[in-house]
Amino acid sequence: MNATQPPLPLPPVQLSPRSGAWLPHQQRNHKPRAFEIVAMLAVNVLLSATAVSALFHLVSYQRSQQAKLHELQAEVNLATARVNQATEQFNRNHDPQQARRIMQEQTNRIEPQQLQVVWTNSNPAPQTP
């Protein structure tokens, strides 16, 4: 006797105008919603266009900054080479072991122990009268 009994069938539901049935006069309620959707789309399109425009400006700015960076790196490399050359020259000029050699280069003087070599042409060109 405790067997389950089949559920009782539900009576058919009849829709009334207040329960959500579609009636022609309710079509006017969709206009504000359509206007809201169109306004949201317009705002989203405007924001998307602004974002794309900003991206184009950022890309062009980034390219110009990279060009400036490459130019500055080239200048830094040249300056580094000049600094290295100046450092080598400074070290050479202030090296006491090379002082005599530098003096000879700059003044064309030689030490008394050295002999000066003068090159001469052993076969002079024939002179025409």
pLDDT, tens digit (0-9, with 9 covering 90-100), for 72-105: 999 999 999 999 999 999 998 888 888 778 877 8
- Any idea which of 38-42, 102-106, 120-124, 125-129 has the lowest mean pLDDT? 125-129
- The tokens of 50 are what? 């602004």
- The tokens of 108 are what? 């064309």
Is this structure's pTM higher than 0.85?
no
Q: Does 45 score more than 80 pLDDT?
A: yes
- The tokens of 43 are what? 């705002």
